[in-house]
Amino acid sequence: MSQLFSPLSIKDITFKNRIGVAAMCQYSSVDGLANEWHRVHMGSLAVGGAGLIIAEASGVTPEGRITPGCAGIWNDQQVEALLPITQFIELHGAVPGIQIAHAGRKASAAIPWEGGQHLKNDEGGWDIIGPSAEPFDDDGTRLWKTPIQMSKADIVATQDAFVEAAKRSLAAGYKLLEIHGAHGYLLHSFFSPLVNIRDDEYGGSLENRARMMLETTAKVREVWPENLPLAVRLSATDWDDAGLSVEDNIQMSSWLKDAGVDIVDCSGGGASPVSRSSIGNKTAMQPAIAGEIRKNAGIMSMAVGGITDPKQAEEIIASGQADIALLAREMIRNPNWPLLAAKTLGADTKPVVPAHKAFFVG
Ligand SMILES: Cc1cc2nc3c(=O)[nH]c(=O)nc-3n(C[C@H](O)[C@H](O)[C@H](O)COP(=O)(O)O)c2cc1C
């Protein structure tokens, strides 16, 4: 009997299987709004059979977007545009999740296929903020904007923006909320010693660097219903001896558990040029790290990175590395991956995809 295709319940939500689609920016919004692209993209994933679909990093403020094409969740118009998508996902048996995010010093960038470089303010970019006034890079080859060091008032305002985004996510019909605490974006950049060189209560010791993520999470938990799952995505290692270790992230996960988080999503990298990649080769080591965090922090985990093969995903769940296996690029290649995985693993395909598919090709 396949473990990957066994249901999972977290709080009042039941996932029909342990396959999730990881958050993936689509760079296709105008003013943060979902449009036809998102309806078709998310819709195809919804009928592909994954139990959980996490919508892309959605800015809690306009300045918190990575690029001008990124999604947003800072106004009611965005909520209205998202509602039909979450309803469609649920209608076809998947759980709609959303990742709420602030890109910090990595914001104000061009979309990847237009180069990904920081945009000047007169090119459609904007002023960026971070824990410290340190640019992501200074390799001299291109523009790396220097962020404005956040004041205490900026910190509180940003935490409040996460809270408002959580309320809007609920209104938009999402049933799982993921706070983006990874990839060098704002919350991770506070936690990582590669970025944060503050000397106040938000910098210095591990406890101080963790404060921004933990305070934000605790405030979000107050408004995100107790019966719905709350997740945090971590960069579970900075891939740099001077940065965050897996042990630091075990500690963070156990603090997050105390703050009411149900499951941690164990990604990696992104804080600095050295640990830049959150998509590259190193990600294949992440599922093992998800297992370490799950075991040592006593919290549910999602594994992500290089998962392409149904037997590999089955092993990740069966061996206790994770409760949910997240796929990103493989789902771009094939949104029907869960259906094929069910066939490969000998699981019943009928509960996996809608009858429209199961009847004919299940
Ligand atoms: C097109 C694309 C967009 C992505 N956008 C996000 C995002 O919005 N939030 C995030 O946390 N990770 C994002 N990622 C990273 C993925 O969620 C995932 O962690 C990474 O691709 C490794 O998984 P994979 O090997 O299955 O692709 C993105 C990856 C891709 C390929």
Question: Tens of pLDDT along 150-164?
Answer: 999 999 999 999 999
Output the pLDDT for position 140: 83
Q: Which of 278, 283, 331 has the most ligand 1 atoms within 8 A of CB, as the residue to mutate?
A: 278
pLDDT digits (tens, 9 = 90+) for 342-355: 999 999 999 999 99
Is the confidence at residue 142, as pLDDT, over 90? no
Quote the CA–CA distance of 157 and 187 in Å, as a whole number. Answer: 14
- Tell me which residues have their CB closer than 6 angstroms to ligand 1: 22-25, 56-57, 99, 180, 182-183, 233, 267, 278-279, 283, 304-307, 327-330
* Minimum CA distance residue for ligand 1 atom 13: 24
Q: What is the mean pLDDT of the chain?
A: 96
Ligand 1 pocket test: which of 19, 21, 24, 286 has the largest number of ligand atoms within 8 Å of its C-beta? 24
For the stretch 102-138, pLDDT in tens is 999 999 999 999 999 999 999 999 999 999 999 999 8
User: What are the tens digits of pLDDT across the range 218-234?
Assistant: 999 999 999 999 999 99
What confidence tier does 65 reach under pLDDT thresholds 50, 70, 90? very high
- Closest C-alpha among 117, 110, 169 to residue 144: 117
Tell me the fold of 8-361. TIM Barrel (3.20.20)
Parallel, antiparallel, or unpaired: how do β-strands 176-181 and 230-235 relate?
parallel
Residue with tokens 């990957």, as numbered in its chain: 4
Q: How far is the CA of 267 from the centre of ligand 1 (A)?
A: 9
Q: Which of these is catalytic: 27, 174, 185, 202?
A: 185
Q: Which atom of ligand 1 is closest in space to residue 308's alpha carbon?
A: 26
pLDDT at 276 over 70: no
Confidence grade of residue 289 (pLDDT, cut at 50, 70, 90): very high
Known catalytic membership, residue 174: no
Domain ranges in the chain are 8-361
Averaged pLDDT for residues 243-254: 98
Q: For the residues 172-180, what does the mean pLDDT come to?
A: 99
> Which tokens in the block code for residue 76?
């009611």
Which of residues 274 and 237 earns the better pLDDT score? 237
User: What span, in angstroms and rounded, lies between the C-alpha atoms of 108 and 121?
Assistant: 8
Mean per-residue pLDDT, 255-278: 91
